[in-house]
Structures are given as structure tokens and as C-alpha cells.
Amino acid sequence: MNQTLDELKEILTRTRAEVAKVVIGQRLAVDLSLIAIFTNQHALVEGVPGVAKTLLVKTLAHTLGTLFNRIQFTPDLMPSDIIGTNIFNLQKNEFNFVPGPVFTTFLLADEINRAPSKTQSALLQAMQERQVTVDRVTYDLSPNFTVFATQNPIEYEGTYTLPEAQKDRFMLKIRMDLPERDEELNLAERMLGDQAPELVLNRGDVNTVVREVDLPRLRDALAQVLVKSELLTYLVDLTRETRRHDSVLVGAGPRATQSLLLASRAHAALDGRDFVTPDDVRTLFQPVLEHRLILRPEFEIEGTEMTSVVRRILEKVPVPR
């Protein structure tokens, strides 16, 4: 690997170590979050309350030296509360634009499924084009603009299903599970002293490992990760298989193929390799694809889980040797 790719590997390793000072366990969630950031994409984080969804995002923003804003989504939140609005200035006798919290680098959309679709959709242009339009005037966001949206599981009361166009803007769906027994015991022990996760973060014990201006250069290093032609074919065939599987009503589109390719490259870099393997593709297949698929009603009624559907798709497409 050349120097830039080696530098990226070192920064990813250091970021993992700094995040581990605050977030106990959740290794896969941390890795998937880094994949989203270093491919300049967005991530949807799902888990029950109290599993450190918000804490993970805040810690990542700190370690990567980026501006950070948080929006608490509620049923009465309006699109203008997110992107900003024009306010009349009596002294100047003109309208002035007051930017909303979307004007940042790292945006935490907390409990995004607590707001109705109209408000959720306010992020569509920002996520796709890194721009927002207010009263026919377009404003640019940071080229590093990244959205991490947390949501409670959809079966909870008082939530709204995300529109399909909105879900497709998220490169990954990151599931954060309840901690293992030893991890929860570790958390309880830390709460008795001065090593509680929030205290560690607020006290400044977590170091910044990279400057925001360096992120584009480090992302460019992923282009040096080799993807062989047979792996590219395998990746495309996997995505296309979702469109004809008997239990899937709506399969993944071309954006999913692009996301799976980018994510597989980043996963290889996380493992310190300059080439992609079938295991990279298979590991990232569910996080990239599951939130984009819609099961047929009869399979949903039977209680078919998305994990089993993904497993059957992976079994159906031959792995290249």
C-alpha cells in the first residue's frame, strides 16, 4: 500500500481507539460509521433507547475534528426549522437568510422517524447535493456534510415510516444491539467513578485524530483499493438478485450497487488491505441493502425476517474464487 493508504489505515485505527474510550463495545457499529464517513456518505442508526446511538455520533464528530449540530426530530418540527428561513430585517428593510442547523459538517438527526414525511424530506436535497434551496435561492453546504440519523425501531408508538427516497439516501443501516453482559458490567463500574462515558467525552479526554480539511485527501486514497472484475460482477449480481427474489416486492436500485462497492473498498482499508475480497462484499451486503428492500405483504404477515432473506440471496449467488 502507498503512503496515503497507510495514513488512512493509521487514522482509522486511532479513531477506533479514541471512540472506544467512550463507546463500550459496538465494534461493528463503529466500523460501519467510519465506512460511511470515509466514503462521504450518510448512515441510518437504529436501536432501542440507551444503546449509545447519540453518544457514538457525538464522539465520532469530536475525533474527526468536524463541526457538529444536532436536531431533535419531533412531530411538530417544520422543514424551516432544519434548513433555515428568511427573516425580515426592519433596520435594513430587507429579508435576511437565517441558516438552520443543517449548515454544519456533522449533523445528528436524532429520532428522525418521530417527525412526519414532510419534515424528513427536508433533508433530501442536502443529503444528495449538499445544497439547500430556500425561496428559490440555493445555498451550499460543506463538501464533507454527513448525516447520521438515529431512529427507534418502527414498532414503537409515535413513529413514522421513512419514505423510500429518504432511505435510499442512506448508504448504510447500522444496528446497535444491547450490550453483552461483560460490557454492561464494565459500563456500570465506570458509572461509579469518574470514567462515565459522557464525562470522558465532555472532559476532553478524547483526542482529535484528523483535521476536516484532510478528509477529502484521505477519501481519495480509497480509489487505490483494488476491485477485481469478477468481484465487481459478483457485487452487481447480488444487487440484481434482490429484484427477482420471491419474497421481495421492491428490490435495491443502482444506488445500492454504488454504495456496496464504496463500502466494500472502505471495509478492506479498515482491515489494512489494498484489495477487496468476497468477504468484504458479504459483510457489507446486509447493512447496505436491508433498509432498501420491501418484502411482499404475505411474507411480512408470516413474520419473515430481513436477515433470513438476505442470507438466502447470498446463498443463491455463487461466490467468485
Residue ranges and CATH numbers for the domains of the chain are 22-213 (3.40.50.300), 225-321 (1.10.8.80)
Mean pLDDT of the chain: 87
* Predicted pLDDT at 201: 86
* 221 class by beta-carbon count within 10 Å (0-12 exposed, 13-18 middle, 19+ buried): buried
* 40 class by beta-carbon count within 10 Å (0-12 exposed, 13-18 middle, 19+ buried): middle
Which tens digit of pLDDT belongs to each residue from 150-168? 887 755 666 788 888 888 8
Enter the pTM of the model.
0.89
Q: How far apart are CA 127 and CA 150, in angstroms?
A: 15
Which tens digit of pLDDT belongs to each residue from 104-129? 999 999 989 888 888 888 888 899 99
* Predicted pLDDT at 2: 63
- Asked if residue 64 lies in contact with residue 15, where contact means CB atoms within 8 angstroms, the answer is yes
- C-alpha distances (whole Å) from 51 to each of 60, 172, 219, 279 are 15, 18, 29, 27
* Predicted pLDDT at 180: 87
* Predicted pLDDT at 122: 86
What's the N-to-C CA distance of the chain in angstroms? 23
| Grid cell for residue 303 | 413474520
